Amino acid sequence: LAAPVELVQFTSGPAVPGLGPGTPRCPLVDVASASNFSCFQLRHLHLDLRLNFAVKEMSGWMVLDLVPVQPGVHILVLDSHPSLLIHSIDCKVPGAGPEEPISLTYRVDPFTDYGSSLNISLPPAAKPGHLIQITVRYSTTDGPAIWWLDPELTCGQSRPLVFTQGHSVCNRSFFPGFDTPAVKSTYTATVRVPDGVTVLMSASRSSYSKQDRVFEFSMELPVPSYLVALVAGELQHVDVGPRSRVWAEPCLLSCAVKKLGGSVERWLGVAEELFGPYLWGRCDLVFLPPSFPIVAMENPCLTFIIASILESSEFLLIDVVHEIAHGWFGNAVTNATWEEMWLSEGLATYAQRRITTEAYGEAFTCLETAVRLDALHRQLRLLGDNNPVSRLQVKFEPGVNPSSLMNLFTYEKGFCFVAYLSQLSGDVRRFDCFLRDYISEFKFKSVVAQDLIDYFLTYFPELKDAAVSQREGLEFERWLSGSGPPLFEPDLSAGGALTRPVQDLCDLWRTSKAPNLQTLETFDLSAWSTFQIVLFLDRMLDLSPLPQDVMASLSGCYSSLFDGLNAEVQIRWLQMVVRNSFYPELPRVRAFLHKHTSRMYTVPLYDDLVAGVMKCVAVEIFNETQRRLHPNLRRTLQQILFQTGTSNQNQTSPTFTNQNVPALSILASSPSPSPPPCLTPFPQPVATATASPAAGTTIALRDVNVSA
């Protein structure tokens, strides 16, 4: 085979076919196809699949419409996966003679433990500027992107269900292709299913032939491969707005509709006033069983969200608004490389908070932000300020799974940088206009950080003239490549009426073993919001271990109240119970783990049980509940329980695949000078304290439950 053409390197500037205005500064070590995807323009992707629930298999074919853009390219390299079985590959070259397909030779090579390299020899008729159609016939079963649920793992427990989860690099086990956010295209799909199965996809149009049991989908706007998503099962819907409907299993649907009401259209309207028109037409949501491995995923036109979050209205609000924000930041304008994931998550978090500020007031947003920034600093205390994982711009070593970058820094440090840019602009409304024009300029493209910065300095020429990017201690380059805490944090004093009582109560418990009842009565936690109670419990967890008499007093004051609240509150209280070995409350831990089977509520508690003196209790509960856990989660918990020395290495991926996911390993460079003192995803249980790894070592961030 001819050697593949080198990837053309740009820092920014002229667009490359299939790419945005800026491409990555360095080779994409997470993408097998990086060796030559810039040699082609991907015009369109078509999938034709049949779902077989009996054998848990998807089979069919994929068609890529490609236009070579460079001469002398004889090899097409696609990202694939060992779980994806290739049956045959052929090619059509329209207008180049007979329309009969040409059979192509191919070779599958190892790439990393999360993918393979599919090398296809192209026919001589493939010429620059002329369309070729590559058809790959294949089947796939239990790859990292595809989650088959037996009936007992669904909410209704009567029919099986399957869904895909492509973020970050898992969709190469769903279909072969250019599995990188740098490449976007439109797509269509034909999906054949058994009777009684409803199929949904992240598509702008759909139709169904009942006679043939065939669903047809069309995404008419270009998207990267990780945003192609599918779910199939016993699903029903209710319209909740002119462009929004809620999908769920029948037993969940009424609860989901009641929780959301007409809020989705309200949030969309606020977002459009801030950032311009919503580009995707539909804004539907599908609630998935507890086996869904993350909190939510911003698949265009169809957000996937875990049903477990329905317990907490405030967390549900934040999760859905965050995914709506991705309609502009992440889906319309996408980070060209996973090494700059903050371009999606940091901007979406900022946009989420602008939406909630407009819809619910500044105090509410400041409270939620305080919870998240607390978690960020807690993470920094665990890892150390010099750990390279805290950089906004990271450089992966070969073989590192980009999914491992899903951490608080991507969201919250990225948010702080965007908030700093907003402050530099001098007025939040003026910055809203900037973001609106940024979306208009780069929509449906993939960008690097320099594209955002260049556009910002061009948009505000007075800031460029003032050399704000070089301000001592706040240099843009230091923001991007420096490790440690954010160089700036926004003023949260507008939330003081909500956060001050929380801190006052924490101080009371810290300075007094048993505060008197009269003093405690001034703090009515039953009137507090979920975020206030979460902030209180997170800060009390920071004080653990606590004396047993303090735990007894806390239990006497609050345990019954917490028992009647949502799972976000309960898990934090139960983490306090476990970390402080407070045995009188142990039955509540057992009851919680029997009830909740999602990763977001099981892994943190099992971690704490094993880290303390209650490992035997954890093993007993696991043995009682394991049949109700998804096999992937079961394997994770088995690692925690029985291989604690290595369990961290499978906890960092937001997709939590069947395969072991390597812990995040980043190339360390010279440490940045310590920044001057100054000041998510979504609130998650507090991390178990461990020794801080040295910079440059392999680390894992197991404690982060995130929305993508």
Catalytic residue list: 323, 411
Can you read off the two tokens belonging to residue 14? 């002229």
Number of C-beta neighbours around residue 467 at 10 A: 10
Question: Is 477 a known ligand-binding residue?
Answer: no
Q: Rounded CA gap, 354 and 360, in Å?
A: 10
Residue of 179, 286, 183, 166 lying closest to 227 (CA atoms): 166
From residue 548, alpha-carbon distances to 212, 511, 533 in Å are: 66, 15, 21
User: What interhelical angle do 530-543 and 496-511 show, nearest 10?
Assistant: 30
322 annotated ligand binder: yes
HEC readout, 654-691: CCCCCCCCCCECECCCCCCCCCCCCCCCCCCCCCCCCC
Point out which residues pair with 42 in neighbouring strands: 66
The torsion region of residue 525 among left (phi > 0), alpha (psi -120 to 50) and beta comes to: alpha
Q: Are 185 and 661 in contact (CB under 8 A)?
A: no
Strand partners, 90: 103, 135
Q: Which two tokens stand for residue 17?
A: 């076919």
Which tokens go with 408? Answer: 């608080």
CA dist., res. 104 & res. 86, Å (int): 12
Phi–psi pair at 524, nearest 5 degrees: -95, 90
* Residue 345 annotated as lining a ligand binding site: yes
3-class secondary-structure state, position 21: coil
State yes or no: cis peptide before 168, omega within 30 of 0.
yes
For 521, how many CA atoms within 13 A lie in the half-sphere containing its CB?
3
Name the binding residues: 322, 326, 345
Name the binding residues for Zn(2+): 322, 326, 345
